[in-house]
Structure 1
Amino acid sequence: MRSRPARAWILALAATALCGCNLAPPYVRPEVAVPASYLTSGEVPVQDSGTNAPAIGWSAYFQDPVLQGLIEQALRNNRDLAAAVARMEQARAQFRIQRSQRLPGLEISGSGQRLRTPVSAADGAARVTVDSYAVQVGIPAFELDFWGRVANLSEAARRQYLATAEARDAAALSLIATVAATYYAVRASEAGIVLAERSLASRQETRELAQLRMDAGLTSSVDFNQSYALVTQAEVQLAELRRSHGQAVQLLQFLVATPLPPTLPAGRPLEPDAQLARLQPGLPSELLEARPDVRLAEQQLRAANANIGAARALYFPLIALTGAGGYASSDLSGLVSDSNRVWSFGAGAVLPLLDWGARRARVDAAVATRDEREVSYQSTVQNAFREVASGLVAAEQNDRQIAAQLQAVQVQQALVETAQDRYEVGLTPYLEVLDAERNHFTAEQALLQLRASALQDAVNLYAALGGGQLTRSP
Structure 2
Amino acid sequence: MKRNMKALGAVTLSLALAACDMAPKYVRPELPVPAGTPQGDAYAANAGAGAAIVPADTAWRDFFTDARLARVIETALANNRDLRIALANVEQARAQYKVQRADLLPTVAGSGTATYSEQPLVQFGQSQRLNTDVYQAQLGISSWEIDLFGRVRNLTKAAQEQYFASVETRNAAQTALIAETANAWLTMAADQERLRIAIDTEKAFGKTLELNKARFDRGIASELEVRQAQTSYDGARSDIAVATTLVAQDQNALNLLAGTTVSAADLPNSLEQKDATLDNLPANISSDVLLRRPDIASAEHNLLGANANIGAARAAFFPTISLTAALGTVSLGLSGLFKSGSDTWSVAPGATLPIFDFGRNKGNLRYARATYDAMLATYEKSVQTGFREVADALARRGTMTQQVEAQTSQRDSARVAYTLSEARFRAGVDSFLTTLDSQRSLYSAEQSLVGTRLTRATNMVELYRAMGGGLK
Could you tell me the TM-score, scaled by structure 1's length?
0.94
Matched, 1:315 2:317: yes
Aligned to 2:24: 25
Aligned to 1:4: 4
Matched, 1:447 2:449: yes
Matched, 1:135 2:137: yes
**Which residue identity lines up with residue 286 of structure 1 in the other structure?**
D
For the 8 Å contact 1:81–1:171, the answer to whether it is kept is yes
**Which residue identity lines up with residue 11 of structure 1 in the other structure?**
V
Structure 1 residues 267 and 445: CA distance shift in structure 2, 3 A: closer
Aligned to 2:187: 185
Q: State the alpha-carbon separation in 2 of the partners of residues 129 and 24 from structure 1.
A: 60
Aligned length: 466
Structure 1 residues 118 and 352: CA distance shift in structure 2, 3 A: farther
Q: State the alpha-carbon separation in 1 of the partners of residues 28 and 46 from structure 2.
A: 29
The C-alpha deviation readout for 1:40-77, integer Å capped at 9, x for no partner, is 54566758442011111111111111110110010000
SS at match of 1:133: strand
Aligned to 1:71: 73
For the 8 Å contact 2:313–2:364, the answer to whether it is kept is yes
Q: State the alpha-carbon separation in 2 of the partners of residues 159 and 46 from structure 1.
A: 39
Aligned to 2:392: 390
Shift of 1:389: 0.4
The C-alpha deviation readout for 1:136-162, integer Å capped at 9, x for no partner, is 121222111000000000000000000
Aligned to 1:93: 95
Could you tell me the TM-score, scaled by structure 2's length?
0.94
CA RMSD of aligned residues (A): 2.1
Q: State the alpha-carbon separation in 1 of the partners of residues 23 and 213 from structure 2.
A: 87
Shift of 1:413: 1.0
Structure 1 residues 375 and 208: CA distance shift in structure 2, 3 A: same
Aligned to 2:16: 16
Q: State the alpha-carbon separation in 2 of the partners of residues 353 and 117 from structure 1.
A: 49
Q: State the alpha-carbon separation in 2 of the partners of residues 42 and 35 from structure 1.
A: 18
Aligned to 1:147: 149
Shift of 1:349: 0.7
Shift of 1:33: 3.5
Shift of 1:13: 2.7
Aligned to 1:456: 458
Structure 1 residues 414 and 128: CA distance shift in structure 2, 3 A: same
Structure 1 residues 42 and 33: CA distance shift in structure 2, 3 A: farther
Shift of 1:2: 6.6
The C-alpha deviation readout for 1:340-395, integer Å capped at 9, x for no partner, is 01111110011222111000000000000000000110011011110000000001
SS at match of 2:329: strand
For the 8 Å contact 1:37–1:45, the answer to whether it is kept is no
Q: State the alpha-carbon separation in 1 of the partners of residues 392 and 224 from structure 2.
A: 49
For the 8 Å contact 1:53–1:281, the answer to whether it is kept is no
Aligned to 2:35: 36
For the 8 Å contact 2:192–2:271, the answer to whether it is kept is no
Question: Which deviates more, 234-243 or 42-51?
Answer: 42-51
**Unmatched 5+ residue regions in structure 2?**
none
Structure 1 residues 9 and 337: CA distance shift in structure 2, 3 A: farther
Shift of 1:117: 3.5
For the 8 Å contact 1:77–1:257, the answer to whether it is kept is yes
Shift of 1:36: 3.4
Which aligned pairs between 1:158-177 and structure 2 lie closer than 5 A? 158-177=160-179
Matched, 1:238 2:237: no
Structure 1 residues 5 and 338: CA distance shift in structure 2, 3 A: farther
Aligned to 1:228: 230
The C-alpha deviation readout for 1:421-472, integer Å capped at 9, x for no partner, is 22112122101101100100100010011001111111111111111433xx
For the 8 Å contact 2:193–2:270, the answer to whether it is kept is no
Tell me the percent identity: 34
Q: State the alpha-carbon separation in 1 of the partners of residues 322 and 464 from structure 2.
A: 53
**Which residue identity lines up with residue 82 of structure 1 in the other structure?**
R
SS at match of 1:344: strand
Q: State the alpha-carbon separation in 2 of the partners of residues 47 and 302 from structure 1.
A: 38
For the 8 Å contact 1:39–1:45, the answer to whether it is kept is no
Shift of 1:277: 4.3
Matched, 1:252 2:254: yes
Q: State the alpha-carbon separation in 2 of the partners of residues 140 and 265 from structure 1.
A: 63
For the 8 Å contact 1:62–1:276, the answer to whether it is kept is yes
For the 8 Å contact 1:170–1:293, the answer to whether it is kept is yes
The C-alpha deviation readout for 1:250-281, integer Å capped at 9, x for no partner, is 11110001113457455785346453342115
Structure 1 residues 294 and 46: CA distance shift in structure 2, 3 A: farther
**Unmatched 5+ residue regions in structure 1?**
none
Aligned to 2:429: 427
Structure 1 residues 270 and 210: CA distance shift in structure 2, 3 A: same
Question: Which deviates more, 26-35 or 55-64?
Answer: 26-35
Partner of residue 330 from structure 1, selected from 332, 350, 367:
332
Question: Which deviates more, 287-296 or 255-264?
Answer: 255-264
Structure 1 residues 251 and 384: CA distance shift in structure 2, 3 A: same
SS at match of 1:343: strand
Q: State the alpha-carbon separation in 2 of the partners of residues 268 and 175 from structure 1.
A: 22
Q: State the alpha-carbon separation in 2 of the partners of residues 286 and 325 from structure 1.
A: 57
Shift of 1:282: 5.9
